[in-house]
Amino acid sequence: MPGQPLITQSIADAAEALLSGQLVAIPTETVYGLAADATNPIAVAKVFALKGRPADHPLIVHCGSAAQAWQCARSVTSAARRLADAFWPGPLTLVLPRSDWISLAITAGQDSVAVRVPSHPLTRQLLAAVDRPLVAPSANRFGRVSPTTAEHVRDEFPDSDLLILDGGPCDVGIESTIVDCRAVESVRILRPGKITQQHLVEELGEACLQVPENDPATVRVSGALPTHYAPQAKVVVLEARELSVWCASSMDDEVPTFLIAPALPPENLPAGIRWHSVSSDVNQFAREMYALFRQADRESFARIVVQLPPAEGIGLALRDRLQRAAN
């Protein structure tokens, strides 16, 4: 008999489940995570199995404090310490050399580990209660849209007996910024997020930031696969200036389309379009984006057309996710 997910607000129940080797979906400020005790290899294997994640894609380790995060690492550069002081708890993940405490199953055979101290109050209490690190990828099936509410997680895994700790809608709405801090002289952004390049430069100075190179072989970041974060519907992304032209050229194609844009062009809309207005505040847009993808799929739209936000602040990370969803 397949189970059914259970949504709870009990930290004690969640802690007990984790300590007995079960998976628990946890709220974070970015997106919901599918958590397991990082020190329990059987529990870690369950994460890969439930998510359908290939074994060569590493997991992020979530810690209750920077001190605990440093125990996951063999060495910690001064840049990593500065970033942790500035942004933890918060939506920033640091890649460091792996210590023996962290198994190769977690890091997918790599000698580096990705760690972060999340800021969501429920998950902070949970980390304090279990007093050990938790691995947690985003709580969606591999390659799909990250969940930003407890109900999204339930919809992802309807046949599992997963316990879901309900912390309400996520505040940031897209995944953490990942920064490679293994080198002594410089850091490198592997995945953009709410903590931007500008934030890193303010903390570390311009010289410390390495421009990303085209070397996907060095580190594997599954969120950096060209196709990821994808709903069922086909996603089309457009710059603001392209919207009128797109509307004019799609007048007769009659594809049921969910249009996500802050404002409509003055011209007539093509047939079959439903416009969903989003805030021109890009932080609010980021908060809602993944829920809108899910809504469009639920309502069986064949196509989602999204107007890209301006390429500044969290807008850069949002553009990155939207472009991958459109591939």
Binding site for ligand TXA (CB under 6 A): 28, 30-31, 33, 57-60, 93, 95, 107, 110, 112-114, 136-138, 175-176, 178, 190, 219-223
CB of 47 to ligand TXA, least distance (A): 9
Contact (Cβ atoms closer than 8 angstroms) between residue 197 and residue 209: yes
Q: Distance from first CA to last CA of the chain, Å, rounded?
A: 37
* Residue 123's binding partner out of ligand TXA, Mg ion, none, with CB under 5 to 8 Å set by partner kind: none
Beta strand residue intervals within 134-233, DSSP E: 134-135, 163-165, 177-180, 187-191, 209-210
Kindly tell me which of 92 and 305 has the beta carbon lying closer to Mg ion. Answer: 92
* Residue 5's binding partner out of ligand TXA, Mg ion, none, with CB under 5 to 8 Å set by partner kind: none
List residues near Mg ion by CB under 5 A.
138
CB of 267 to ligand TXA, least distance (A): 39
Kindly tell me which of 83 and 259 has the beta carbon lying closer to ligand TXA. Answer: 83
* Residue 269's binding partner out of Mg ion, ligand TXA, none, with CB under 5 to 8 Å set by partner kind: none
CB of 244 to Mg ion, least distance (A): 34
Beta pairing class for 177-180 and 257-261 = unpaired
CB of 137 to Mg ion, least distance (A): 5
* Residue 257's binding partner out of Mg ion, ligand TXA, none, with CB under 5 to 8 Å set by partner kind: none
Kindly tell me which of 40 and 138 has the beta carbon lying closer to Mg ion. Answer: 138
Contact (Cβ atoms closer than 8 angstroms) between residue 91 and residue 172: yes
CB of 17 to Mg ion, least distance (A): 22
CB of 227 to ligand TXA, least distance (A): 13
* Residue 110's binding partner out of Mg ion, ligand TXA, none, with CB under 5 to 8 Å set by partner kind: ligand TXA
63: its two tokens = 């810690």
Geometric angle at alpha carbon 87, from 27 and 134, rounded to 5°:
40
Kindly tell me which of 22 and 138 has the beta carbon lying closer to Mg ion. Answer: 138
* Residue 57's binding partner out of ligand TXA, Mg ion, none, with CB under 5 to 8 Å set by partner kind: ligand TXA
Kindly tell me which of 68 and 138 has the beta carbon lying closer to Mg ion. Answer: 138
CB burial of residue 215 (10 Å; 0-12, 13-18, 19+): exposed
Name the strands in the sheet holding 6-8, side by side, starting at the edge strand that comes first in the sequence: 6-8, 163-165, 24-26, 33-37, 134-135, 60-62, 112-116, 92-97, 177-180, 187-191, 209-210
List, as one string, the DSSP characters of 126-147: HHHHHTS-EE--BSSSTTSPPP
| Residue 214 CB partners (closer than 8 Å, separation 6+) | none
Beta pairing class for 6-8 and 209-210 = unpaired
